[in-house]
Amino acid sequence: MNRAYVYELQPNSKQQYIIDNTIGASRFIYNTYLSIRKDIDELLGIKISKNKCYELYNDIIKKGNPFLSEVDSLALCNSEINLERAYANYYRDKEVGYPKYKKRHKAKLSYTTNNQKGSIRVIDDRHIKLPKLGIVKINMHRSIPSDYVIKSATVTKNRNGKYSISVLLYKEKEVITKVEPNNVIGLDYSSAHLYVDSNNNTCTYNGYYRIHEEKLAKEQRKLSKCKIGSNNYIKQKHKKQKVDDKITNSRKDFLHKESKKLADSYDALIVEDIDLRNISQGLLLGKSTNDNGYGMFRYMLQYKLEQCGKYFIKVGKYYPSSKLCSTCGAKKDELSLNERVYFCDTCHTSIDRDYNAALNIRQEGIRILGIV
């Protein structure tokens, strides 16, 4: 079972230079091998593998570009693996599109290196050792559990010039054998509250995009009036990026804390596999859906529960959770979106629509788990 911890990295000027060169070299290797394989594919009609391409052209590329020997070799290998993965995705599904070149000003500024015989290790709560970089300062806000092994690390430089590191960890997966029905909860999506659970509790999401929407629009207007590529354009772009980062980081922080709280409290969580992309395209719910990040929230719940050996169940998207009565099970075929109170014509139950759906989702999850 894998998990990743992200920390702020604080390299000195020499280490920043090496990181920037490694990122550039990784992008260079990706684009170079893509160009070679693309030419062979178009001119000769031959699909050449990564290993064969590496065998034929590796020495030529390295002799012609001596700067490649100055950076982490494993970062270059991972760049080749990423290209091979892009080709595999293309051959499996043509709609994915042919692999594209990584552009300097648009591609993600990062590289990945692997842990080999302790080449990546934590020195103390302020320092970490990385290949080619040596000992680097790190803001380790939480310690790595002793039962996890470091597999790899991804060093990233954001558009504001700050550095971070994502440390990939591994340990054997654990699964709990018994689930108590009283410790199972169902969640129904809510645009206004993020979710409503089967205990009739709602989540108070702050709507971080709406909080910063006016400021973001102001910075965007200033950016639109700058000449593209000028110094003022670059400065203003960084200011806008800071607002974007504030929204993103605030949202992630909230979702991480909320998902952690739920994962620690329950043995199993049941959610509905709704199509958030379709909902986000609506005129009334689009902005709220994109703001609250419910898809990210479900992903966080899933891996946090799996880390604890607990269960994360998705109920099918066609399950009529909103139309079923949670008391008697009768189905109400006609139910408009603006009906926020569910009234059952059979047993005359009157209940909040989202709470009723959360109860039905929980019951369906219990049935899937096979517990009473």
In DSSP notation, 242-287 reads HHHHHHHHHHHHHHHHHHHHHHHH-SEEEEE---HHHHHTSTTTHH
Residue 135 has pLDDT above 80, yes or no: yes
Segment 311-340 shows an average pLDDT of: 86
Residue 226 has pLDDT above 70, yes or no: yes
Residues 203-223 have pLDDT tens digits of 888 889 889 999 999 999 999
**Cα–Cα distances in angstroms (integers) from residue 279 to residues 16, 288, 300, in the given order:** 42, 10, 20
Residues 167-189 have pLDDT tens digits of 999 887 776 767 888 889 999 99
Residue 70 has pLDDT above 70, yes or no: yes
Confidence bin at 345 (pLDDT 50/70/90): confident
* CATH tag, 181-369: 3.30.420
Residue labelled with tokens 């910063």: 212
What is the distance between the alpha carbons of residues 59 and 196, in angstroms, rounded to a whole number?
A: 59
Which of 273-277, 285-289, 310-314, 343-347 is predicted with the least confidence, judged by mean pLDDT? 285-289
Confidence bin at 92 (pLDDT 50/70/90): confident
Residue 246 has pLDDT above 80, yes or no: yes
Highest mean pLDDT (candidates 127-136, 278-287, 336-345): 127-136
Confidence bin at 372 (pLDDT 50/70/90): low
> What integer best gives the mean pLDDT of the chain?
87
Residue 186: its pLDDT value, please?
Answer: 93
What is the distance between the alpha carbons of residues 357 and 372, in angstroms, rounded to a whole number?
A: 20
Confidence bin at 232 (pLDDT 50/70/90): very high
DSSP label at residue 331 = B
